[in-house]
Amino acid sequence: MVLKVMSSNQAIAEAVKLVKPKVIPVYPITPQTTISEYLAKYVADGDIKAEYIRVESEHSAISACLGASGTGVRVFTATSSQGLALMHEIIFAAAGLRAPIVMADANRALSAPLSIWNDQQDSISERDSGWMQIYAENGQEALDSVLMSYKVSENKEVLLPTMVCIDGFILTHTVDPVDVPEQEEIDKFLPDYNPEHAYLDPERPMSIGTFTDPDYYMEARHDMEVAMEKAKTVISDVSQEFAETFGRKYEFIEKYRSEDADTILIAMGSICSTIKDVIDELREGGEKVGLVRVRVFRPFPVEEIYEAIKGASHVGVIDKNFSFSIGGVLHNNIKSMMDVNAAGFIVGLGGRDIKPSHIKEIVEKTKNPSNKPLWIGLKEEQ
Amino acid sequence: MELPEKEFLAPGHRACAGCGATIGVRLALKVLGENTVAVSATGCLEVITTPYPETAWEIPWMHVAFENAAAVASGVESALKAQGKTDTTVVVFGGDGGTADIGLQALSGAMERGHNLIYICYDNEAYMNTGIQRSGSTPYGASTTTSPHGKESFGEDKPKKNMPMIMAAHGVPYVATASISYPEDFMKKVKKAAEVDGPAYIHLQQPCTTGWGYSPAKTIELGRLAVETGSWILYEIEEGEFKVTYRPIQRKMVSEYLNAQKRFKHLSDIEKEKIQSHVDAICVELKI
């Protein structure tokens, strides 16, 4: 294995090259843009044989993805923040039309005020769309997640799209060592996409995206929930197969020194690397602290999270998003789905730096929880 | 002109009696044939032809949303290209709202990128699917539910947006206007559009019995009156060259067209005169 040093954006582009999409509609937006640029270069160099469509908006990027996917080919696009918000309408349609699109989202704050920096409000706000969502911690996981996501999304039992989320700048523009699998291995792991449920083929005419009255709509939406449930098994199976081939195993959640922990933090994405460092330091001082990193956010791994935290005395959930009057969305999902007292913390909105000292503060406040979600790293009133 | 027997839009769909849109689709598909994929914008056509679990489409058909038909078609065309299926025609049917208003950006992008597709705007001159609201394509003086006439209003106070010329300005190699009441002219244009290597745009006027306010038996007659009075001009722009494709032998008075429709009934003679002089100015320039 030869590790190459690259940004998570490049890692995602490398993964896209390996899965050989036929159509790639893209529109630039910071901090996703370099994914589009890498892919443009791969297509220009003949390394990817695909139609690269320079669409005039993210709305058209996802629309063209859906048209191409409906025509029966594998597609890819990437976006961020305002772009994802602009896609919103078609994000729901893509899931409803059961198009196994895989899209990368470079997590970035939503306007206003305008910010190009990281938080996870953009993708979290699409949580009810019917897309599966993966939050990667580093470049390797970003690459591997794209590879696995195609196999999960295209599975006949699932047929739902997947959003692979990476923290803007923190991952998109920093480099770490990544193992890029060989093309031959991926060709074996991921067969060609040959849809049986939806295709536009004059030899077998089909109408896709019809008008539905109240006799059918609920069933169509319920079918999606059934598929989301089945995706749990498929994700496990694909992850197992991936581990056997490539030697890297990904679970729904990653448990870090949480087995005997009295205090457990729960978080998603790149912040978990900082938390792990802080945990190591606190453990050296004899404090039993651990982390549960939620990797797969949809389908939501209720059992896995509950099993991992039920033995802890204190649980703190860290969100880089906020639902007004309610608090962090991960925090509230956990509280609503399991019998656990969990403190909630809002951090890092709009790229506010999260320092080890903030994590230590969160650990302390988790041990003496407040009823309300606490905003950590907020400036003192002036 | 030979009119193929084969239908690709099945009867039994939910269109109003006298619907002009479905006439246009039937004629276009007779020309394009079975090796065609159709994409529709949300609107009358999509709703009336695909009440799940039924469909009137005998060819592959896709609908996603209101404003993105041209973008969806871009994806379809690219996917067909990537699969080597370059002999399959991609045709888009969008209403005037889905084309001139909410879908203009996606259409502009698709046309400027040069996708090999035919975009047919079926123009009934208002948002008919939601119940006759004013669109950018609503003509001057028309009363709609959002541009009603009243004490302070004579109805729509802006001229119709000139979509075909906007498309021509994109450098689209084939742009044409058409009317469902002149099927031979329309079908010839669809054939030319299909033969063009690159995008083509056809702006098809189609009278709407409920929105315009006339008897369902009169749809073809209304379409003819629009053209015979010079209110709707049939032309094509081939590689930038403008040509009128039909000239009425004796141009009729615009009032004959206006008076046949409820949407113009309220207009005073002064407003009708204004419309007549506007039409005259254009027709004189084009020698119609």
pLDDT in tens, A168-200: 999 999 999 999 999 999 999 999 999 999 999
* Phi, psi (deg, nearest 5) at residue A187: -60, -35
Q: A69, A71, A92, A216: best mutation site toward chain B, by most B Cβ within 10 Å?
A: A71
Amino acid symbol at B14: R
Partner-chain contact A60 B63, CB within 8 Å: no
pTM for this predicted structure? 0.97
Q: Would the pLDDT of A97 be above 80?
A: yes
- Alpha-carbon gap: B171 to the closest alpha carbon of chain A (Å): 17
Torsion of CA A79, A84, A87, A89, to 10 degrees: 150
Chain A touched by B288 (CB under 8 Å): no
Partner-chain contact A63 B71, CB within 8 Å: yes
Partner-chain contact A211 B82, CB within 8 Å: no
- Alpha-carbon gap: B202 to the closest alpha carbon of chain A (Å): 21
Q: What is the pLDDT along chain B (288 residues), one digit of tens a residue?
A: 788 899 999 999 999 999 999 999 999 999 999 999 999 999 999 999 999 999 999 999 999 999 999 999 999 999 999 999 999 999 999 999 999 999 999 999 999 999 999 999 999 999 999 999 999 999 999 999 999 999 999 999 999 999 999 999 999 999 999 999 999 999 999 999 999 999 999 999 999 999 999 999 999 999 999 999 999 999 999 999 999 999 999 999 999 999 999 999 999 999 999 999 999 999 999 999
What is the structure's pLDDT at B172? 98
- Alpha-carbon gap: A31 to the closest alpha carbon of chain B (Å): 23
Count of Cβ atoms closer than 10 Å to residue B16 Cβ: 17
The label of the residue with tokens 């005997």 reads A260
Rounded CA-CA distance A60/B279 in Å is: 37
More confident residue, B111 or A1: B111
Average pLDDT estimate for A246-273? 98
List the one residue out of B207, B231, B205 whose CA is nearest residue B18: B207
Token readout for A297 is: 């956010």
What is the structure's pLDDT at A1? 77
Partner-chain residue, chosen from A66, A67, A210, that has the shortest CB–CB distance to B52: A210
What is the structure's pLDDT at A18? 98
ipTM computed for the complex: 0.97
Residue in A with minimal Cα distance to B109: A56
Q: A20, A60, A73: best mutation site toward chain B, by most B Cβ within 10 Å?
A: A60
Torsion of CA A21, A247, A162, A128, to 10 degrees: 180
Condensed to tens digits (0 to 9), the pLDDT of residues A55-87 reads 999 999 999 999 999 999 999 999 999 999 999
List the one residue out of B237, B231, B240 whose CA is nearest residue B288: B231
Partner-chain contact B81 A51, CB within 8 Å: yes
Q: B34, B50, B57, B62: best mutation site toward chain A, by most A Cβ within 10 Å?
A: B62
Q: Would the pLDDT of A381 be above 70?
A: no
Token readout for B272 is: 């009708």
Confidence of residue A2 (pLDDT cuts 50, 70, 90): confident
List the one residue out of A48, A5, A80, A70 whose CA is nearest residue A205: A70
Token readout for A181 is: 């699998």
What is the structure's pLDDT at B3? 85
Rounded CA-CA distance A128/A256 in Å is: 28
The bridge status of strand A162-167 relative to strand A102-107 is parallel
Rounded CA-CA distance B207/B185 in Å is: 17
Residue in A with minimal Cα distance to B89: A202
Write the burial class of residue B284 (CB in 10 Å: 0-12 exposed, 13-18 middle, 19+ buried).
exposed
List the one residue out of A53, A125, A80, A88 whose CA is nearest residue A297: A125
